Every structure is written in structure tokens, then in C-alpha cells.
Structure 1
Amino acid sequence: MRPPLPLPSRLRTAAFSAGHSCVDVYQGAVAALVPFLVSERSYGYAAASGIVLAASLLSSVVQPLFGALTDRWPMPWLIPLATAAAGLGVALVGLDAGYAATLAAVALSGLGVAAYHPAAARLVRTVGGPGHGAMSWFALGGNIGFACAPLLVVGALALPGPAGWWLLAAPAALGVFLNRPPSAKRSAADGAASGPAPAASRRPRDDWRAFLRLSLVVVVRSVVFTGLSTFIALYVRERGGGETAGAVALFALFAGSAGGTLLGGRLAARWGRVTTVHRAYAAVVPAVAGILFLPLPLVYVCSALAATALYVPFSLQVTLGQDYLPTRMGTASGVTLGLTVSVGGLASPLIGAAADAASLRTALLPLAVLPLLAWALARRLPEPAEPDPAEPALTAARG
């Protein structure tokens, strides 16, 4: 059984988890600003959606590029810099210097988010060692930040004048402090304390075939979760539940995602990552079917269960990707945290078009079947060998 992480490593993991919240709040903040931009600046729906698209594409699609850069040149200083850019971009939206300037400000925030994730996930794995608990806490921090974004936006914009806009930058200021990278000397000491180093070790080769299969699994997961989070409130309202009932279903979905993120690390310690991942996708199928066919009160329960099952694999897929590409951990983090996740957003218009042509329930039916594809793909994933405990120290020393 792996010994617990030393106290300094646990404290750094907690700090990075909180710092992740401070960054991901800006992923949710851009979408939460849309009603304000439409009502106060007379932006049309197309213009407002263009702003959200710019932020989401930059924050997701560009992540593998930053991951490749951090693999080639470890840049721990990029983490606090990216945190500052994410907050500054959203704050600059308040200048109201025209649509182009607003688009540029949101793009700056998106670039900050994109630059942060691969470098931070790589460093969390370095500080947290070869286990899965550190990545689970890191992922949970991001979920919390994203969920709190609407509350932050509503509270900040209730203040008169520019004060509210600069208040939106407050999480970034805190995040810069929390996301300070440890020194190479301290990271090496933490890594050495995580376990004894053997006399000699070889890093395994990159397994691109397994990584591509894993990427397909992450794409399927993204399509299912994004489709549910986009349309579940509308679906509940369509079934006669009203706006409050739709909001409750969406809250249940987000609450389940937070629980699943922590549960994944615990289940992986018992079953192994690959077994946990494919069992989780098998559990998604009845949960999504329950959302579509069970009576309304049970929809809330099924929403929480579906999100829990979809988020159990979330952090495990990040560490699996890193272990499949041990010499390109930044690239693996950028793909599993960014590029493949963005595909879910691209699939949402297709679900909407199918709902317009038939019905919303018919359009959502594939979301109950797609997890079977993820289950089949995940069953064929190899369980990578555990990373050498000495590797985090060596990686940090090179950074």
C-alpha cells in the first residue's frame, strides 16, 4: 500500500486545488455574463454567443499547444501568469470599449485558462506523486470554481460603477498567490519523501495507441455531460416541471459531478483506474435512461447519479493520459483537460437541431447509448505501470 503523502505535498495539493477554483471560475463567468451583455449593451444573441465561443475555443482547443510547450520547456512561472491573465481579461470586459475590444478581452481570459491547465496538471502530478488522490482534489477545485461563477458575476455586477468589474478579478489575485509553483529544491524533497527511489529506472515509452483510445473515451464523456447540462433544465420544463424544477435538476447534475470527482480516486485505489473507468460508464446508461423515462421526482436522483458516474473517470483519465505519454505529460494534460472536452460543446447544436426536428426526448436518447461506446473502448485500455516514485522529483528538478 502506498504511504501517505508528506504534509508539505498535501498542503501544496490543497493550494493548487483552491487555485484551480480561482481559474475555472472564469470559464463559467463568461457564460454568466451573456445576459448582462444582451440587456445592457444591446448585443444580439449571435454576438453574445460569439463571445462565449471565442472563450471556450481558446480555453480548450489551444491547451494541447501549451501542453507541448511545457513538455519542451518546463515553465512553472506560466501558472501564476496564466491565472492573472484569466482574471484580467474578464475584468477588462467592463471597459465597454466596443464589441471588438470585448472579444479581445474574453480571448485574453481564454488564453489564460488554456495556458494554466496543462502546466498546473503536470505540476500537481509532480507534487502529488504517482497516486490519484491529488488529481482528484485538483479536479474538484475546478468543478467548484465553475459552479460558483454565476454567483460571483451576479454579486459583482450588483455593485455600481467599475468596482464590480474589478471585483471579478479578485479570484485571480488570490489564485496567483495559491498557484505559486514550488521551488525545484522543495519539489525534489517532496518527491523523495513520497517513496524510496530505486538505484536505476527507465521511463516507459509513450503509448500513443492507448492514448488515442482514451481520447475517444473522453470525447464521448464530454458529449454526454455537455448535452445533459445544456438541455436538462429545458427537458424538465418541457415535462411540466417549471423553471424552478429545471434549476433543481441542473443543480443536482452539478452536485453529482463534485461527488464523482472525489469518489473516482477512492474507487481507483480499490479496483484500479481502468476498471473504475469502464464500470463508471456502464453505470451512466441506466442513470441517463432514468432521466428520460422515470417520473419527474426521480429525475433529480438520476441526474445526480448520472453526473457522479460521468465524473468518477474525470481525474483518472487525466492521470491515465499522463502515464500513457510519460515523456509528454503536458500534452496529455492539454488533450484530456481541453481539446477533447471542447467537442461536447460542438455536439450541442446537433442535439438542438434534432430536438427541433423531432422532440427533445428523442434528441437526448443517444446520450443514454453513447456511454456504451465509452465502456467498450475503456475495457480495452491497458493499465499502465505505476510511475516510478522517484520520477516526480526528477521532473521537478528539471523544471
Structure 2
Amino acid sequence: MSLNSKVEATPPYGAANTETTLFTLLLMLSGAHLLNDTVQSLLPAVYPILKTSFRLSFSQIGLITLAFQLTGSLLQPLIGLYTDKNPKPYSLPVGMTVTLCGLLLLAFAGNYYSVLIAAALIGVGSSVFHPESSRVARLASGGQHGLAQSLFQVGGNTGQAMGPLLAALFVVPFGEKAIAWLALLPLTGIFLLSHISRWYAARLAAMPKRAKTLVGGHGLTRKHVAGALAVLLALMFSKFVYLASFTSYYTFYLIQKFHVPVQTAQICLFVFLGASALGTFLGGPIGDRIGRRYVIWGSILGILPFTLALPYVNFPATIVLSFIIGFVLSSAFAAIIVYAQELLPERIGAVAGLFFGLAFGIAGLAAAVLGVVADATSITFVYHVTAFLPLIGVLAYFLPRNL
């Protein structure tokens, strides 16, 4: 049965608990997310190559991440807010096209400024992709919002793990221009998103106008909603600053401390990101069953013993601890997104854009700051400092219990 043939059989969005979860659509969306985030993660994965080619400092590496993250961070909430009132189904393949342009520019960049522009274009593509695709995931959830968000997110996390692996297999042996061959990834994404956009457009046309905006039913006051959002934002800060230390500098940490080759360091980053994908996949369904508040609390605070131990252990133990940290920490993101959307169910796109955007922005600013710290001290010192960030997880105690 085609995706379009299911549109008329699906009740309005407001009756989500009677809907069927559209796994085919969710898997296609997850696949598109995988392709989008593979391109994103390819950028930090080739940092060691760019550092050598353009003789960059750690601060300049941080600015590349900042250029990518800021375009995604600043645009995503605005796009989400706009599309809450004016959904744009066909913006999905358009966003992936912008990502394609950024990837090709990165492959043939002749100087540092071209790399910055390429990074910014990849960020713009992501800023268009995430708010609308998150809305599609909720539309197709059949009421299993955590499961749908996890399926969507696991594609992204898997893509983040694939970038370093592809860099190790193709870019390191064959040079920067080999990145151009990876244009097949966003081209495939454009194809998938074109099909999803047709379903999305038909779904919107079949929905009663009043059902396109949800009304909150949690009974919380605006003060309680604002307080809960403030806690979630603090937890996002903790999570993504710590993640930035891995996505931007983990390979350098392994190379400097344990003297491993670049390819080995990239494969270790792949292990960390693969663990993150697994944690993301399980976090949403567990949150549906036991409550998202408990998943959020355990995920952030639960990694504290492992982050504190990480700077003091040998290479094999570092890999084991990194796997545990990636798995546990990443189980929170789908739960945080769904929890925030249930706080503001009439602002699905804006919430998704805000939280995805903040994820990019926090990570970008953190990468820049941590790069300066690494230049001034050492890359090892960065992991001593960031080890205490999970303490912020105690704030999850103050989240309302009825969501």
C-alpha cells in the first residue's frame, strides 16, 4: 500500500491515540535523517585533514563548527515558528539540496573561508530539515510520540556515526576531493524527502483546519510551563556542551594522549556515535512506558561517574567508558523533545526548531570555547573540566511529573 493511500484512512491529528503508527513513513524519514546527519558529521570527521591542509589552530577548528552550528541554531526556531502556521511540505527536499551544495563546496574548497561557507550551508540545510521532519514524525506516530521521535532520531544518530567511518574509509586515503563522491548521500535524501513531502502535503489537505493546531491539555499554568522549559534548556546545555567535546575534539584527544593514528581515532569516534544511536533508539520507547521525566533524569545525571573517570583511564577503558557515556547520554534527547512538545503542543515545529537549533548553537559555541581552552591549556584538560557538566542533571527533579 502506498503512503498516500493511507491518508484518508487516518483520523485527524487530534485523535492521535486511535491512529496507526506509520512505520514505513517513519523509516523513510529516519533514513533521510541518517543521510542528512552523515553529511553533518563528516565535517568534524575531516577536521584533522583540514587542520593539516590549511594549517589551522584549534581555535580555527572551533570557528568552523561555530559557522555550521550558528546557521542551524539561529534559523531553526524561526523556521519552526513560521511553519507551525504555514506548513511547507516541499521545503524538506529544498533543505537537502542546500546541504548538497555545502558538501560539494567543502570537497573543492581552496581556502579556509570557503570551508567556513561550506559549513554554514550545511547548517542552513539542517535548519530547514529538522522542524518540518520532526512534525512529520509526530503526525505519523499514531500516538506513540516517544517511539516515533526515537525512530526519527536514531537515523540522525546513526548518520552522525557514519561520518567518521566514511572519512576513515574514503577521505583519509584519497584526499579532500573524495568528499565529492559522498554527494550521493544528499541526492538519495532528496529522493526520499520528495516522496515524504507528497504524503505530508496530502495529509495536511485531509486534516480539518481546526486539527492542524493542537490545544494543550496538561493543566499546567504558564509559569509551570516556563519553569519546565527552563529546566529542559539547562539539561540541553549540559548534554550538548559535553557532546561537543566528543564530536569536535575526541579524535585529537585520542591522538594526543594515546598516540593512535588518525584512522583509529575516527573509528573510535564511530564507536561513540554508534552507542549514541543505540541510546537514542531506546530512550523514546522507554519514556513512553515509564515516563519521560525519569529517562531525562537518569540519562544526564547517570553518566557522571563515567565522565569523572574518563580522563584517568587507559586506551581500552577509554573506549568502554565512551561507549557507556554515548549510550546513556543520548537516550535523553528524544524524551526531551517529546516532553517539550507536550508542554506546548500547539507549537510542534517551533519547539522542534528551538531544541534542535539550541542543540546546534550550544554545540557550536561550546566547540569554539573548548577550542580556545585546548589551545591555552591542553586537549586533556578539556575533558577534566567538562566531566562535571552532568551534575546539572539534578535539575530534572523539578520537571512536572504528569507528562
TM-score range, shorter chain: 0.7 to 0.9
CA distance in 2, matches of 1:330, 1:61: 14
Matches within 5 A, 1:286-305: 286-305=305-324
Match of 1:313 in 2: 332
Deviates more, 1:212-221 or 1:59-68: 59-68
1:278-312, Cα deviation, whole Å (9 max, x unpaired): 01223211121231234443222111111111101
Matched, 1:83 2:96: yes
Matched, 1:364 2:383: yes
8 Å CA contact 2:158, 2:274 repeated in 1: no
Match of 2:148 in 1: 134
Instruction: Give the letter aligned to residue 245 of structure 2.
Output: G
CA distance in 2, matches of 1:298, 1:43: 32
CA distance in 1, matches of 2:389, 2:280: 21
- 2:345 match: secondary structure: coil
Give 2:189's match in structure 1, choosing from 156, 162, 175.
175
Match of 2:161 in 1: 147
Matched, 1:110 2:123: yes
8 Å CA contact 1:23, 1:145 repeated in 2: yes
CA distance in 2, matches of 1:301, 1:100: 38
Matched, 1:347 2:361: no
Instruction: Give the letter aligned to residue 67 of structure 2.
Output: A
Give 2:43's match in structure 1, choosing from 30, 35, 49.
30
CA distance in 1, matches of 2:202, 2:19: 17
Deviation at 1:324, TM superposition (A): 1.6
Match of 1:389 in 2: none
Matches within 5 A, 1:1-399: 6=20, 9-34=22-47, 42=54, 44-45=56-57, 50-94=63-107, 103-131=116-144, 132-152=146-166, 155=170, 167-179=181-193, 180-181=196-197, 182-186=199-203, 202-204=215-217, 207-240=225-258, 242-243=260-261, 246-247=265-266, 249-354=268-373, 360-373=379-392, 375-383=393-401, 385=403
Q: Say if 1:286 and 1:63 are closer, same or farther in 2 by CA, change over 3 A.
A: same
CA distance in 2, matches of 1:248, 1:184: 40
TM-score normalized with structure 2 length? 0.79
For structure 1, the residue ranges without an aligned partner over 5 or more in a row are 193-197, 386-399
Deviation at 1:59, TM superposition (A): 2.2
CA distance in 1, matches of 2:160, 2:137: 19
Deviation at 1:335, TM superposition (A): 1.8
CA distance in 2, matches of 1:94, 1:167: 9
Q: Say if 1:341 and 1:381 are closer, same or farther in 2 by CA, change over 3 A.
A: farther
CA distance in 2, matches of 1:62, 1:125: 21
CA distance in 2, matches of 1:102, 1:176: 23
- 2:303 match: secondary structure: helix
For structure 2, the residue ranges without an aligned partner over 5 or more in a row are 1-15
Q: Say if 1:242 and 1:156 are closer, same or farther in 2 by CA, change over 3 A.
A: closer
Deviates more, 1:125-134 or 1:28-37: 28-37
CA distance in 1, matches of 2:234, 2:357: 13
1:206-225, Cα deviation, whole Å (9 max, x unpaired): 73332222111111110112
Q: Kindly report the root-mean-square deviation, in angstroms, between the aligned alpha carbons of the 2 structures.
A: 3.5
Q: Say if 1:39 and 1:217 are closer, same or farther in 2 by CA, change over 3 A.
A: closer
Q: Say if 1:229 and 1:166 are closer, same or farther in 2 by CA, change over 3 A.
A: closer
Instruction: Give the letter aligned to residue 231 of structure 2.
Output: R
Match of 1:397 in 2: none
TM-score normalized with structure 1 length? 0.79
CA distance in 2, matches of 1:259, 1:95: 34
Q: Say if 1:219 and 1:102 are closer, same or farther in 2 by CA, change over 3 A.
A: closer
CA distance in 2, matches of 1:19, 1:27: 13
Instruction: Give the letter aligned to residue 155 of structure 1.
Output: F
8 Å CA contact 2:341, 2:347 repeated in 1: yes
Deviation at 1:262, TM superposition (A): 1.3
Deviates more, 1:82-91 or 1:337-346: 337-346
Q: How many matched pairs?
A: 372
- 2:155 match: secondary structure: helix
Deviates more, 1:142-151 or 1:283-292: 142-151
CA distance in 1, matches of 2:82, 2:35: 23
CA distance in 1, matches of 2:313, 2:113: 47
Deviates more, 1:180-189 or 1:339-348: 180-189
- 1:130 match: secondary structure: coil
Instruction: Give the letter aligned to residue 271 of structure 2.
Output: A
Which aligned runs of 4 or more in structure 1 are off by greater than 6 angstroms? 2-5, 156-162
